[in-house]
């Protein structure tokens, strides 16, 4: 089982090509010292024996980072970009509720949780670049699975029946109306498991990148430059999310869901329109597989990486004598020992909690930013999408900035925790800008009285007593008196011209002045977004600046052989305490500001139709500030613990 080399014996049972660490023993039976420049592993780029010299110019960390940059971009684009942008279209396509579609949005985190500890612990002993590459292929499979529901069933837009009779709106009819059948058990429910599985596969596939991939960079590069490279990978994911919102908005606006099957004579303004939510996944399913090829070619360790390692523990040669069950038992005991050891590390645990708290902000904003902007500032979806995409795109510079500051200022753990505490606190201060909201919607009967009345007593009023308005759903119209009415019927309007957003109503008995109304809410000429937008840019920039230093401290406060597992545990904390509850908590805050609920067809409250701008602004502001202050406090406590031991603990 052993062959003799010039320096000693190489145990062939630990072949580096299989991803297992090679044990080199000198002629006296002793392990070589760390100062020995002998490189027992083949550090050339390639697969197996196929490692041509013409490709070795690619064997540089800078180029490896280029490939993982592309991988992280694709992950952000697919998992958090086009998938979130496409949720409204998915709901309409398969007639499912937002509650059910939210399961699709969060399921990728459950997929990651299912495997991240196993991948980070076992994968640390394998060929890291290849495990990352295998994960990329798995993500390609996840993207393909996301397309399967579209391939399985064509969208039927015939469920709506159009009435073109221009009858009076006051008797319960509103001109051209589309009515859709609603039921508790939608036939589209059977496709939810497919979408959930697709997102879970995405989460499983990406787990190796932000555990093993980051450790591979940190182990094979000078510490300060590694911080910059890691910052670039985080930034790539954020840029991918922004690109996903940009591309998703354009696809949903311009491509019909079944454009590959049928041609339609209506556009996105028609109620029957559903955008091609699946189209972006066709491209990601291909590119995930393609980018895996160059990543898999990189060696287990790069040439000269030994000088960057301070705790390079050799593999126990006795492991080769163990049976599979004995080896599994030994690994399980080592798993528990390492896990408990990390849980007793106060700096590591505080960084986990601080990172999780900050993720509450990022996850909440990502899930409900569209709703907040459209409701608070009355923006259309195109404008909201462009604003959100631009905010994420520019703010993602913060991830790179965090790594750059670590390099330029030569920050060790103490300096990095202090940096995180400062930027978190400053982010909370900028969050006060959420109070710059628009005026409340002046809804007749709820917030202001009807014309000629001095009391606010619900939507019923004598001005539309002869109208049958009980069957009317919420469809706000703006009266000439600058009041908003629940529906054209509640405004007492007798006739209408046009359809949809271009509809105009006349002879409105409840509207003062010209007795006319138009579809939608009244323009309030609110310019408060000019205050919020730049403040949110700086707030998001500061939040994301802490991401890279947080990961760097996590890797430097543990032993080298524990780094992949430590990042895996951090991923579990961030998802359990940040990614999953973040949208739920922000959703709860928004629900508390709801004024009008639609009422579900099965006894539920349904969706919110109108929000209180003031309550929404105060609720989101308090949430942002409190979460930011909590994160800052955790980072500050970490710095206090690190301070007496900073020299001894710095890796």
For the stretch 162-221, pLDDT in tens is 333 334 477 644 433 444 444 454 556 678 888 889 988 998 888 888 777 877 887 777
Query: Is the Cβ–Cβ distance between 479 and 517 less than 8 Å?
Result: yes
What token pair was written down for 229? Answer: 């490279």
Could you tell me which residue, 40 or 471, shows the higher pLDDT? 471
Interatomic CA distance for residues 620 and 615, integer angstroms:
9
Q: DSSP of 595-625, one letter per residue? A: EEE---TTSS---EEEE-HHHHHHHHHHHHH
Mean pLDDT across 579-605: 71
Interatomic CA distance for residues 638 and 303, integer angstroms:
35
Output b/e per residue, 586-618; b: 16+ Cβ within 10 A: bbebbeebbbbeeeeeeeeebebbbbbbebbbb
Give the distance, in angstroms, between the CA of residue 393 and the centroid of all CA atoms in the same chain. 13
CATH topology of 61-157+187-309 equal to that of 345-435+529-651? yes
How does pLDDT run across 447-480, given as a tens digit for each residue?
788 877 767 767 777 787 778 777 677 778 889 8
Interatomic CA distance for residues 565 and 569, integer angstroms:
6
Q: DSSP of 59-72, one letter per residue? A: -SHHHHHHHHHHHH
Domain boundaries, the chain: 61-157+187-309, 345-435+529-651, 440-523
pLDDT at 166: 38
Per DSSP, the three-state class of 443 is strand
Task: Please say whether the structural domain 61-157+187-309 has been given the CATH code 3.30.360.10.
Answer: no
Percent of the chain scoring above 70 in pLDDT = 77
Interatomic CA distance for residues 280 and 268, integer angstroms:
18
**CATH number of the domain at 345-435+529-651, out of 3.40.1190.20, 1.10.10.920, 1.20.1250.20, 3.40.1440.60?**
1.20.1250.20
Give the distance, in angstroms, between the CA of residue 199 and the centroid of all CA atoms in the same chain. 12
The residues with which 506 forms a beta bridge, in sequence order, are 495
At 521, is the pLDDT very low, low, confident or very high (cuts 50, 70, 90)? confident
What does residue 434 show for φ and ψ, rounded to 5 degrees? -60, -20
At 120, is the pLDDT very low, low, confident or very high (cuts 50, 70, 90)? low
Query: Is the Cβ–Cβ distance between 277 and 86 less than 8 Å?
Result: yes
pLDDT at 499: 67
**Backbone φ/ψ region at 189: left (φ over 0), alpha (ψ -120 to 50), beta:** alpha
What token pair was written down for 115? Answer: 């495997």
Residue with tokens 């202090």: 418
CA 70-75-77 angle, 5° bins: 90
What token pair was written down for 233? Answer: 């990978």
Tell me the H-state helices in 255-344. Answer: 279-296, 324-343
- Whole-model pTM: value is 0.67
pLDDT at 140: 93
Strand 495-497 vs strand 484-485: parallel, antiparallel, or unpaired? unpaired
């Amino acid at each position: 089982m052993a062959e003799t080399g010039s320096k000693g014996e190489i145990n062939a049972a630990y072949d580096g090509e299989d991803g297992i660490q090679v044990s080199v023993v000198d002629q006296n039976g002793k392990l070589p010292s760390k100062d020995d420049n002998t490189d027992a592993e083949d550090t050339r780029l390639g697969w197996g024996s196929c490692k041509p010299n013409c490709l070795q110019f690619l064997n540089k960390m800078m180029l490896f980072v280029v490939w993982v940059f592309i991988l992280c971009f694709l992950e952000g684009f697919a998992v958090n970009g086009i998938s979130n942008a496409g949720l409204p279209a998915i709901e309409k396509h398969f007639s499912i509720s937002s509650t059910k579609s939210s399961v699709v949005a969060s399921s990728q985190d459950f997929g990651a949780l299912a495997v991240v500890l196993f991948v980070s612990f076992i994968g640390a002993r394998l060929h890291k670049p290849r495990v990352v590459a295998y994960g990329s292929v798995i993500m390609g499979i996840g993207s393909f699975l996301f397309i399967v529901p579209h391939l399985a069933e064509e969208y039927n837009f015939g469920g709506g029946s159009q009435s073109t009779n221009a009858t009076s709106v006051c008797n319960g009819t509103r001109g051209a109306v589309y009515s859709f059948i609603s039921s508790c058990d939608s036939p589209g429910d059977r496709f939810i498991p497919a979408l959930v599985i697709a997102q879970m596969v995405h989460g499983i596939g990406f787990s190796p990148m932000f555990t093993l991939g980051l450790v591979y960079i940190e182990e094979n590069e000078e510490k300060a430059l590694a911080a910059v490279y890691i910052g670039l990978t985080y930034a790539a994911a954020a840029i991918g999310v922004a690109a996903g919102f940009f591309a998703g908005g354009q696809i949903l606006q311009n491509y019909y869901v079944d454009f590959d099957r049928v041609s339609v004579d209506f556009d996105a303004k028609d109620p029957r329109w559903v955008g091609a939510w699946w189209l972006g996944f066709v491209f990601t399913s291909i590119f995930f597989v393609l980018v895996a090829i160059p990543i898999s070619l990189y060696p287990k360790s790069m040439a000269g990486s030994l000088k960057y390692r301070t705790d390079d523990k050799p593999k126990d040669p006795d492991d080769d004598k163990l049976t599979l069950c004995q080896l599994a038992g030994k690994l399980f005991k080592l798993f528990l020992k390492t896990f408990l050891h990390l849980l007793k590390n106060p700096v590591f645990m505080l960084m986990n909690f601080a990172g999780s708290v900050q993720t509450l902000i990022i996850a909440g904003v990502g899930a409900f930013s569209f709703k907040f902007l459209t409701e608070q500032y009355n923006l259309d979806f195109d404008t909201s999408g462009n604003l959100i995409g631009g905010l994420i795109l520019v703010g993602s510079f913060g991830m790179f900035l965090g790594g750059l500051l670590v390099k330029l200022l030569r920050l060790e753990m103490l300096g990095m925790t202090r940096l995180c505490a400062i930027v978190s606190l400053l982010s909370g201060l900028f969050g006060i800008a959420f109070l710059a909201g628009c005026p409340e919607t002046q809804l007749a009967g709820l917030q202001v009285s009807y014309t000629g009345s001095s009391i606010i007593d619900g939507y019923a009023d004598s001005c539309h007593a002869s109208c049958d308005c009980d069957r009317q759903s919420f469809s706000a119209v703006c009266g000439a008196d600058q009041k908003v009415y629940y529906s054209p019927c509640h405004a007492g309007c007798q006739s209408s011209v046009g359809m949809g957003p271009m509809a105009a109503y006349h002879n409105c008995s409840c509207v003062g002045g010209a007795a006319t109304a138009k579809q939608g809410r009244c323009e309030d000429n609110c310019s408060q977004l000019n205050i919020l937008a730049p403040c949110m840019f700086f707030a998001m920039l500061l939040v994301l600046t802490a991401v890279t230093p947080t990961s760097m401290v996590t890797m430097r406060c543990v032993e080298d052989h524990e780094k992949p597992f430590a990042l895996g545990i951090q991923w579990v904390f961030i998802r359990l305490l940040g990614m999953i509850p973040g949208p739920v908590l922000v959703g709860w805050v928004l629900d508390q500001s709801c004024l009008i609920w639609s009422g579900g067809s099965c006894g539920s409250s349904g969706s919110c139709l109108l929000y209180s701008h003031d309550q929404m602004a105060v609720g989101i502001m308090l949430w942002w500030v409190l979460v930011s202050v909590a994160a800052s406090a955790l980072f500050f406590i970490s710095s206090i613990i690190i301070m007496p031991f900073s020299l001894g603990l710095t890796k």
